[in-house]
Amino acid sequence: MSLWMDQFNQVTASPGGDVYTNWTYTGATDNGPSYVSASFVGGDDNFGTMTTVQTSVTAFYTTQYGYYWPVGISYQSVLRNDGQSSVAITVNIGDFQ
């Protein structure tokens, strides 16, 4: 398993707000199931609950050769702030390769 910590730019999620992510792996290859979680920035006054509410995979193709030809794969996730205050986060991504 690989784990990439503190990915993407730091964002602030308001209470009830969603954070959307999108990523690909080198060569736009399929890396199987991925796990996504919030990484809270700091810790002195940055507390709350971020819930991963969706992960998805999108495969792209072209028909320019007269048949379906794979072009790439991208991954997406949605994290929701279920807490009562705004939180600053980055994202951790794990895969099972």
Spell out the domain ranges in the chain. 2-95
pTM: predicted TM-score of the whole model, two decimal places: 0.83
pLDDT tens digits along 64-86: 888 887 788 899 999 999 999 99
Q: What is the DSSP code (8-state) at residue 64?
A: T
Integer angstrom CA distances of residue 54 from 18, 30, 50? 11, 18, 12
pLDDT tens digits along 8-48: 999 999 999 999 999 988 777 777 888 999 999 987 889 99
Compute the radius of gyration of the chain from its Cα atoms: 16
**Residue from 41, 48, 43, 52 nearest 94 by CA:** 52
